[in-house]
């Protein structure tokens, strides 16, 4: 899955980047207010500060704008999370810094992230797989840190458990965006980040009981799957 090439009749790469940045900001505002389908390219051009003719020098369709929005947001989030990773430390300190950095980025970009997840299904069959791949690449950043913790003996996690833990970290950031209507009444972002880190690390570093002696039982309600007493 390669990056989608959005055509432009303009040759100046710096000008393309500048104009598309304006489009992305305008589109996020309009999509959050009206939704993707009810927003017109003419409205995006006006909010961007230039004519509809100029808009079409940099994109070919409204779906191109949505793609640019999603691509830009993922680049911003992943770039800032990478910057927050503490390379001077390893293990749980590095993991903690990365999680807190990720949650703060999701707070800073909550409007953009909400638009991205709400409207991504409007992307073309060509563009959607690439955007979803970027989501998995972000998850892989946390899985890599978790793997380093496991390799150093800080955490005792199987491959599957590391994968699940990385997804849980990603969801903790998405939850701040999707449920901000209630969470912001109960927590500041600093309180939320600290609580999530404590919960996640407690689950990862808590005493791991020997499954052989941990009291697993069979449940007919769970089709014979195991669960703890």
Partners of residue 227 on adjacent β-strands: 217
pTM of the predicted model, to two decimals?
0.80
Please write the tens of the pLDDT for every residue from 100-135.
Answer: 999 999 999 988 888 888 898 898 888 888 888 988
Kindly list the structural domains of the chain, giving each domain's residue range(s) and its CATH number in brackets, ordered by start.
7-60 (1.10.10.60), 67-206 (1.10.357.10)
CB 42 within 8 A of CB 51: no
183, with CB counted inside 10 A (0-12, 13-18, 19+), is middle
Please write the tens of the pLDDT for every residue from 10-58.
Answer: 999 999 999 999 999 999 999 999 999 999 999 999 999 999 999 999 9
CB 168 within 8 A of CB 108: no
Cα-based distances in Å from 31 to 54, 94, 154, 193, 225: 20, 36, 44, 28, 44
């Amino acid at each position: 899955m390669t990056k989608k090439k959005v055509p432009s009749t303009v040759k100046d790469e710096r000008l393309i980047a500048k104009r598309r940045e304006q489009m992305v900001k305008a589109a996020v505002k309009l999509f959050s207010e009206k939704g993707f389908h009810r927003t017109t390219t003419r409205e995006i051009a006006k909010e961007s500060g230039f004519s509809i003719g100029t808009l079409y020098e940099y994109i070919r369709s409204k779906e191109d704008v949505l793609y640019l929005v999603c691509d830009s947001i993922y680049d911003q989030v992943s770039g800032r999370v990478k910057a927050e990773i503490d390379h001077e430390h390893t293990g749980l300190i590095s993991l903690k810094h990365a999680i807190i950095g990720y949650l703060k980025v999701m707070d800073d970009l909550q409007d953009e992230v909400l638009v991205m997840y709400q409207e991504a299904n409007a992307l073309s069959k060509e563009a959607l797989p690439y955007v979803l791949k970027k989501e998995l690449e972000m998850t892989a950043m946390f899985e890599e840190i978790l793997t380093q913790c496991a390799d150093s003996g800080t955490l005792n996690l199987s491959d599957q458990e590391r994968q699940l833990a990385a997804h849980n970290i990603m969801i903790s950031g998405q939850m701040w965006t999707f449920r901000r209507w209630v969470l912001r009444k109960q927590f500041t972002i600093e309180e939320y980040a600290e609580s999530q880190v404590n919960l996640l690390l407690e689950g990862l570093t808590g005493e791991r009981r020997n499954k052989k002696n941990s009291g697993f039982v069979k449940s007919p309600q769970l089709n014979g799957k195991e669960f703890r007493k």
